[in-house]
Structure formats: C-alpha cells, structure tokens
Amino acid sequence: MTSISVRVEGPDQAGEARRAAAGLARQLGLDETTSGRLAIVAIECANNLWKHGGGGEIVLTPIDPEDPGVEVLALDKGPGMRDPERCFQDGYSTAGSSGTGLGAIRRLASEYDLYTIADKGTALLARVKPAGAPLSTPRCAVRGVSVPVHGETVCGDDFAAAEKNGSMAFLLVDGLGHGPLAADCATAAVEAFRESRSDLPPDLIQEIHGALRATRGAAVAVGRFDLGGRELRFTGIGNIAGFIWGKGGARHLLSHPGIVGHDVRNVRQLTYELDESVLVVLYSDGILTHWSLESYGGLPSRDPALVAGVIYRDQKRGRDDATVVVVRAGSRPV
C-alpha cells in the first residue's frame, strides 16, 4: 500500500493535493461522491498546512484492497493548536480566513483524529470511505505509511495485512535500494503474502523467499496475532526494526541477518506475550533508530495511522524510502 506524498510550501500545492487525491480515487475505483469528498479534504488540508503550519506534507494512503478508502495525513512542525476543539468550529480562524477548513474536514471524513503539541506541530488524520462502509475495528488495526524517497515515483518498501485462519498477519518489506527494481521486490513479496494460505511467520517468510529469488532481494518482517489472544508470533530477516509498546514501555523485536530471496539461514519464530492492549511498531531503514514513544505524550492512544504519520514526520532520514507500520492489538488505548 504505497503512499503518495505532496509537499506543501504555498497555496499552489492545494491543486497538486487535489489532483493526487483524484488520481488515487480513480485508481481505487471510488464512487464520484467519495472521490469528491476526498478531493475537498485534500484541498482543505493543504490550505491549513500553509496558512497555519508554515508548510508541511500531505500523505495519501489506500486503506486496503478489500476495504476501499483513503487515509489523508496532514503533517506539519508548526506552532500547533492550543485549543484544538475550538479550531474545528466553523468561523474560528487564526489566519484571517473564513474558518471553515477544519470543520469541513471533520464533516467530510468518515473518521478523523488529531495529535497536536504547542510549538511542536500538528498531525491530522482524515479517513475517507464510501457511504455505508464499516468503520475501523479496534480489535486489531494495522495501519501505516510507505513513502518513496524524494525524486522517485515508486516505493521499494511496502506493507500488507490480512486475516488468515482466525488470526491477523501483517508484513513489512524493504526491497534493497530504491526505485523500480526495489519496488518489484516489494510487490512480489506482498503478492506472495496475500496468496499464501499459511498464517505462521516462518512459513510466510519461506514462501516470500521463493517468490523473490529472481529479484535483488529484500528485508522482510512478518507478525501474527491471534484475534482476541495475547501473543505475537514474529519472524524478521534483515534490517527492519520494531518494538512492542505496552504498560512496561518498549520491548524490541529481534530480526535475524539475511536477504530474503538470496541468503536466508535462520528463519526462526519468536513468541512474545502481550498485555491486554499494545502497539506493535515496525519501520524500514528509511526511519531513524534512536527515538522513543516516551517523548510523545498521549500519542500511543491515538489512531494507529496517526501514530505512524507522526513517527514518519519526525524520524524519516530523507535519503531512502520510509515506511512505518503500527498495529494495535486490543480494544483499549495503550
């Protein structure tokens, strides 16, 4: 599920955001009404970024092939909102505008969430789905962003999730390098993951390993939750980092050396016991490693897509494809 990124540095990018949203809507086959709502949300997000945030980035991500819709993230490092609820009221503005932008976004979105800290920035999530589509389930939500490095139109990273045999399996793949050849690796890995009937991470890794033999290879991580259960089964190969975030803080996930598709010697499953509600965070090497969710007060309780967006905004290296996947297991906030 590759994301589309639009950098917003002035009013001209509102049109670019609208065109990107319209193109993605056509690609996903969204109906005219949903496409129109998505376009307006993208425009309003862009306008708010340059008027109030000093510029920023819009990230558009398809939700899932079987769950049509788009997640819109508006990310900035501006002054933040000191009174978020008031900012969503029609007629309120800090920039001399009509003050209808954030209110319109909330009305048009199927779901929305907001994370803002004064003087450190704002991240807004607007999830736009067709009328009547089911809302997100809190039982086991898998969300993320996967953005190509600046200058590339395709991403060598990708992620996917699927219910398999009564469990939720999820994947993050980072094709070696970036550009079209890396994107081919990622696409082949996702296809093998979706086509497999297995739900055990080592078996999925082996199937993906076979599918990538004709490619340059990739780093791959696969996890599996029993829906309603309290354990994570995990297998990682290569340079993908991750951790479990719960009541006791962070527990880092272990990946083994190797290149899936070429050199895989130790495909071992690790099992982690979980609290009642946790986050699992995985990220490719386009994301920095020396950071902690402890510095983000209140963020772990937000929508997993918003958590992924904030981590991407603050921790991306800027010289490689960047992907963050966030999985919430359990219905209560962390």
pLDDT recorded at residue 137: 63
How confident is the prediction along the chain (334 residues), in pLDDT tens digits per residue?
Answer: 789 999 999 888 999 999 999 999 999 999 999 999 999 999 999 998 988 888 999 999 999 877 789 999 999 999 887 655 665 555 444 443 433 568 889 999 999 999 999 888 999 999 999 988 887 765 678 999 999 999 899 999 999 999 888 889 999 999 999 999 999 999 999 999 999 999 899 999 999 999 999 999 999 999 998 876 689 999 999 999 999 998 888 999 999 999 999 999 889 999 999 877 789 999 999 999 999 999 999 999 999 999 999 999 999 998 999 999 999 886 556 6
Q: In 253-303, where does DSSP find H-type helix?
A: none
Domain boundaries, the chain: 4-128, 140-329
pLDDT recorded at residue 52: 80
φ/ψ of 303, rounded to 5, equals: -55, 135
List all residues 6 or more positions away from 139 whose beta carbon is below 8 Å from its beta carbon: 227, 228, 330, 331
Fold designation for 140-329: Phosphatase 2c; domain 1 (3.60.40)
What own/partner pairs with CB < 8 Å and gap ≥ 24 does 298-304 have? 298/115, 299/115, 300/245, 300/333, 300/334, 301/333, 301/334, 302/113, 302/115, 303/111, 303/113, 303/125, 303/136, 303/141, 303/143, 304/141, 304/142, 304/143, 304/144, 304/279, 304/328
- Alpha-carbon distance of 46 to 7, in angstroms, equals 9
Sheet containing strand 157-164, strands side by side? 157-164, 167-175, 218-226, 231-237, 270-273
pLDDT recorded at residue 215: 96
Token pair in block for residue 258: 């190797």
What own/partner pairs with CB < 8 Å and gap ≥ 24 does 101-104 have? 101/44, 101/47, 101/48, 102/44, 102/48, 104/40, 104/41, 104/44
What is the sign of the dihedral through the CA atoms of 150, 155, 156 and 162?
positive
pLDDT recorded at residue 332: 56
pLDDT recorded at residue 96: 38
CATH architecture observed for domain 4-128: 2-Layer Sandwich (3.30)
